[in-house]
Structure 1
Amino acid sequence: MARFAVGPVLGVASGFAAVQAALAGRYGFHRDELYFLAAGRHLAWGYVDQPPLTPLLARLSTAAFGAGPAGLRAVAVLLGAATVVLVAFAAKELGARRAGQVLAAAGAAVSALVLALGHLLSTASFDLFVWTLLGVLVLRLLRTGDRRWWLAVGAVSGIALLNKDLVLLLAAALLPSIACAGPAARAVLRGRWLPAGALLALLVAAPNLYWEAAHGWPQLTVASGISGKDGLTNRLTFVPMQLVYLSPVLIPVWLAGFRRLRDDGRVRWARPLGYAYLALCALVLVLGGKPYYALPPLLLLVMAAGCGPVAERLWRPGPEHRRGRVRLVGLLLVAALVNSLITLPVLAPRQLSVLSALYPESAEQVGWPELTAAVAAGWAAVPPEQRGRAVVFATDYGEAGALVHYGARYGLPASYSGHMSFYDWGPPPDSATGPVVLVRPEPYPAVERAFTGCRQVAEVDNGHRLANEEQHAPVLLCTGTVAPWSRLWPRLRHFY
């Protein structure tokens, strides 16, 4: 087996990290990041919509690297760079030599999803890394036949469960794929090591599982809401988004990986990888999950399987192969440019209107201080003698997170929301009988019926004429509530 190309692969990963670090603070926070920052102030073994790991990473990253967007995203940059290295290592496990490993690293580094998740801190940022690590461990298990690797797989799976329960889909796709791949593959399922690995995963994840059980499994409620609300759209866009997330440039390499896993006897042991990717796609389609659920690690690892033969063919002597290498390098540079333009803060915010139709998350990083300023204008309309019993309320965790993060800068009091885990962090006191400053991006009758005498006193303007969820959101000043907050609070809980 070829040696790992440490120098070139680390060079690619370092270039990826350098670009990400240079651009990390150009826009502002994303709405989810503001939520993670708020959740990091309320550390727990679980939240209604996620396990505890990403909020913990948000708190640690800002403590180590600073409270701004660049400090929060430092851990996402490191996870993305580590993923690039892991994809190259997977290519090495699959027999790729130096050129194939570098091609695998470069392919991962220019793919749209790796670029996007290396820029923003989200639950998917850690999933990308940990699922890819699981894929590499399973490849090592299948190649060596050493069933003791199940302990490492179990430990990493437990950590993955502390970030998101979706790793169970990976297990549901992978284990049957190994069982169906022939006697040699099935041999790794026998004995005590697989149950021992599963038990280790449960032990690592036990604190969050206990929290979930004690709170009535709220993540199932959130997941069913995602499927019910976006399931049809997710199913219709699943196949094209797989190709976009990887990059159209890499589709030939990806197809070469599928053909190799199917036909090449030298990597017959890795055939469950291809089966598992197809099984995972079927599971996500049935459940109505988001298209990126199937990308890490299996789509990237199938691509890695194709990097060895593609590189061997192009790195032969001869002018035609030299031209092929030049074309490949050019295509990778084009992919890097196009995907960076879409997923990274390269353009000025005013120029994002067209691109945000392709990648809405870019526009959701703009305008949060301006939203807070608009709420502060609404707060200024509250008579000074009433402010001691007034409340600021947001209908969405993004707006609530912005008000928590920026509110003190604008002289705002503590803010409240019934969305996701903001609900669990408590209602205002019943002594808060005064006016309510309410911000909501679109009409929300279930919330507005809780307040009386509402009138618009301000409007959000991000200053870039950029259409996003918060642009032109009204800020309402309401005279009060229809009941004390303790009675009203259960009516204000919502998950979507």
Structure 2
Amino acid sequence: MGCQTAAVDIRGDDRLGLQPFALRSVALVAAVLFAVLIALSGRYGFHRDELYFLLAGRHPAWGYVDQPPLTPLLARAGTAVFGASPTGLRVLPALLSSCSVVLTALLARELGARRGGQVLAAACCACSGYVLAMGHLLSTSTFDLTAELGVLLLTLRLLRTRDSRWWPALGAVIGVTLLNKQLVLSMLLALLVALPAARPWRETGRRPCPGKARLLLGPLLALLLALLISAPTLWWQATHGWPELKVARVLSHVDGVSGRLLFLPLQLLQFSPILVPVAVVGLRQLLRDDELRWARPVAVAYPVLCVLVLVGGGKPYYPLPLLLAVTAAGCEPVVRRVRRSWRVLTPLLLLAAATSALAALPVLPVSAVAVTNAVDIDQGEQVGWPPFTRAIAAAWTSIPTAQRAHATLLTSNYGEAGALSRYGSAYGLPTAYSGHMSLYEWGPPPDGDDGPVLLVEQADGQHRLEQPFSDCHTVTRIDNGLGIDNQEQHALVVLCTGAHRPWSVLWPSLREY
């Protein structure tokens, strides 16, 4: 029982060879998803976050207070290549979601799935409400989903083969993922905590291998590559006082106790309740099948990550890439055990797709968004921006022409500033300023702009934004005309005669996270 015998046992892949990849069928599922997403991409309008990303893309930097640079750069690239429209912006998210479908099928293949299991894994991914939502809108989570599935695929390949040649690829993917979001670090921590469940170091040999110390070189190389690729954004965060941590604390406080209590129900709703049984089968398969012992860290990491996210006050959808990997593990057993599997599974998948689409995609008329908005608030944040801009433009004309050259336009949040940046030029509106998130870094207005201030005040009755200004009165209220209760509905458009202090002195008091 020498080194060679021990090495074979550590790899543990002799009994589990990869099945041929069902490329055509999986590609068909991915193509159908892409076609559906593109067909529905322009039915409503830009989401408030997309408007912010478009605005941030015009201020390129290695970091922003609430995110790394990749998503704003994708927004800028997407509209430059495919057009400055909701559809043009959303081509890249649709492509990324199609890639997520392929990666989920590859995860199932890595876990021993044959053609049927791979196709079911692809279909489960395409029918998930979370995947549909991420493919419809450009967000930091859009790229994060695809990248984390890639990290999981490479992790499984390493666990299965013990082939150190995969470490550089894993490090590179992690580094690129960190240019978009730091959430992958939580997933890696969960996997590291779960690693003992696989007992990958157990050997049958007695004699130590002389090259064993080299096993550390792979992880170190992966770490160095990840740090090298992500160094610019990490340096930006460090030199700016790690503002992303401040934003995370604020968001955690906003969600509060109720967000933690609803964590698991919301997660399963976003994933799709109809697909949960497949995930349960996958969890059981990973925990009980001795031939998949090497992949057990994925099963253990899922609840570990849920706990980490709960403690940190994160969003329910953060662990969903891991849940998709667990679901992929259940697809082959489901196909094998269900008699006449596709006659049974196809109606269930169609039902999952229909319910997910109703919740996550703009399949209903705009007039019906008030209904779906109660389930998914992101639906309501895609409507009303052109009427919002027209209302601001009408209020702007109430300022005497002679005073407009020194007047200032101030908004409560980045969505409003992004909308005015996107639509305001058609009405002759000036640059809109805001102290919200990274827009604070792009201010303040010049001190020479000491004339009237037109501002948007949220309809919470507290009038916080008006406090530093004189003689304020409401000009109009925002009404999207559809009765949709989004963040701007019934907001006040307020005109003030001026600020109490110069903008350079006043600006720090207007910062908002």
2:310 match:
285
Task: Summarize the Cα distance change of 1:189–1:367 in structure 2 as closer, same or farther, 3 Å threshold.
Answer: farther
Once the two structures are overlaid, the 10-residue window that deviates more, 447-456 or 83-92, is 447-456
Relative distance call for 1:11 and 1:435 in structure 2 (3 A) is same
The answer on whether the counterparts of 1:446 and 1:492 sit within 8 Å (CA) in structure 2 is no
Q: Which runs of 5+ in 2 are unaligned?
A: 1-17, 204-211
> What is the CA RMSD across the aligned residues, in angstroms?
1.5
Deviation sequence 1:31-69 (CA, Å, 0-9, x none): 000000000000000000000000000000000000011
Alignment partner, residue 20 of structure 2: 3
Match of 1:84 in 2: 101
Query: Given that residues 457 and 466 in structure 2 are in contact (C-alpha distance below 8 angstroms), is that contact kept between their aligned partners in structure 1?
Result: no
Matched, 1:464 2:482: yes
Q: Distance in 2 between matches of 1:492 and 1:471?
A: 22
After superposition, residues 263-342 of structure 1 pair within 5 angstroms as 263-296=288-321, 298-314=322-338, 321-322=339-340, 324-342=341-359
Report what 1:13 is aligned to: 30
**In the aligned structure 1, how far is the partner of 2:142 from the partner of 2:93?**
6
Matched residue type, 1:351: A
**Corresponding residue for residue 11 of structure 2:** none
Residues 115-146 of structure 1: per-residue CA shift (max 9 Å, x gap): 00000000000000000110111111111111
Partner amino acid, structure 1, of 2:336: E
The equivalent of 1:161 in structure 2 is: 178
Corresponding position of 1:434: 451
Q: CA deviation at 1:190?
A: 4.2
Q: 1:122 aligns with which of 139, 142, 156?
A: 139
More displaced stretch, 4-13 vs 147-156? 147-156
Secondary structure of the equivalent of 1:67? Answer: coil
Q: Does 1:144 align with 2:161?
A: yes
CA distance change for structure 1 residues 404 and 478 in 2, over 3 Å: closer, same or farther?
same
* Distance in 1 separating the partners of 2:116 and 2:342: 11
Question: Aligned pair in 2 of structure 1 residues 185, 129: CA closer, same or farther (>3 Å)?
Answer: farther
Indicate yes or no: 2:65 matched with 1:65: no
Check the 8 A contact 1:185/1:269 in 2, yes or no: no
The answer to whether the 8 Å contact 1:232/1:288 transfers is no
Alignment-derived partner of residue 74 in structure 1? 91
CA contact (8 A) 2:160 2:295 kept: yes
2:248 aligned with 1:231: no
Letter aligned with residue 26 of structure 1: R
Structure 2 residue identity aligned to 1:218:
P
2:234 to 194, 201, 209: 209
Within a 5 Å distance, the mapping from 1:384-423 to structure 2 comes to 384-423=401-440
2:26·2:118 contact (CA, 8 Å) conserved in 1? yes
Residue 366 of structure 1 corresponds to 383
Check conservation: 2:451, 2:498, Cα contact below 8 A. yes
- Decide which moves more: 450-459 or 122-131: 450-459
Q: CA deviation at 1:472?
A: 1.6
**Contact 1:427 1:486 (C-alpha < 8 Å) held by counterparts:** yes
Q: Amino acid of the residue matched to residue 217 of structure 2?
A: R
Matching of residue 490 in structure 1 with residue 475 in structure 2: no
Show the counterpart of 1:380: 397
Evaluate the alpha carbon distance shift between residue 379 and residue 262 of structure 1 in structure 2; reply closer, same or farther with a 3 A threshold: same
- CA change 1:189–1:124 in 2 (3 A) is farther
Once the two structures are superposed, what CA deviation does each residue of 1:55-114 show, in whole Å capped at 9, x if it has no partner? 000000000000011111111000000000100010011111111100000000000100
What SS class does the counterpart of residue 216 from structure 2 fall into?
coil
CA distance in 2, matches of 1:7, 1:87: 15
2:510 partner letter: L
Deviations 1:154-204 (A, max 9, x none): 111111111011111011111121134214489999421112111111111
How far apart, CA to CA, are the structure 2 residues paired with 1:262 and 1:231? 33
Q: 1:292 is paired with a residue of what secondary structure?
A: coil
2:265 corresponds to 1:240: yes
Amino acid corresponding to residue 65 of structure 2 in structure 1:
V
Contact 1:46–1:52 under 8 Å retained in 2? yes
CA contact (8 A) 2:45 2:383 kept: yes
Q: Is the 8 A contact 1:142 1:188 kept in 2?
A: no
Query: Residue type of the partner of 1:87?
Result: T
Amino acid aligned to 1:450: P
CA shift for structure 1 position 233: 2.8
Contact 2:283 2:299 survives alignment (8 Å):
yes
| Residue 194 of structure 1 pairs with residue 194 of structure 2 | no
Separation in structure 1 between the aligned mates of residue 213 and residue 40 of structure 2, nearest angstrom = 44
2:494 aligned with 1:476, yes or no?
yes
Displacement after TM superposition at 1:430 (Å)? 0.7
Native 8 Å contact 1:231 1:289 kept in 2: no
1:111 aligns to what? 128
CA distance in 2, matches of 1:455, 1:83: 50
Which amino acid in the other structure matches residue 288 of structure 1?
Answer: G
User: 2:372 — aligned with what?
Assistant: 355
* More displaced stretch, 462-471 vs 33-42: 462-471
Structure 2 SS opposite 1:416: strand
2:49 corresponds in structure 1 to 32
Q: What are the ranges of 5 or more consecutive residues in structure 1 without an aligned counterpart?
A: 315-320
| Amino acid aligned to 2:287 | R
Letter of the structure 2 residue corresponding to residue 119 of structure 1: H
Residue of 219, 238, 241 corresponding to 2:244: 219
Q: How does 1:444-455 map to 2 (within 5 A)?
A: 444-455=462-473
Q: Distance in 2 between matches of 1:53 and 1:421?
A: 15
Are the aligned partners of 1:146 and 1:188 in contact in 2 as well (CA < 8 Å)? no
Give the Cα–Cα distance (whole angstroms) in 1 for the partners of residues 148 and 482 of structure 2: 38
In 1: Cα distance, 2:104 partner to 2:193 partner: 23
Indicate the percent of aligned positions where both proteins have the same amino acid: 54
Equivalence for 1:259:
284
Q: Is the 8 A contact 2:457 2:465 kept in 1?
A: no
Q: TM-score scaled to structure 1, two decimals?
A: 0.96
Give the match for residue 12 of structure 2. none
Aligned counterparts of 1:188 and 1:342: Cα–Cα separation in 2: 52
Q: CA deviation at 1:245?
A: 2.0
* Superposed displacement of residue 242, structure 1: 2.2
Structure 1 residues 434 and 378, CA, compared in 2 at 3 Å: closer, same or farther?
A: same
The AA in structure 1 aligned to 2:370 is S
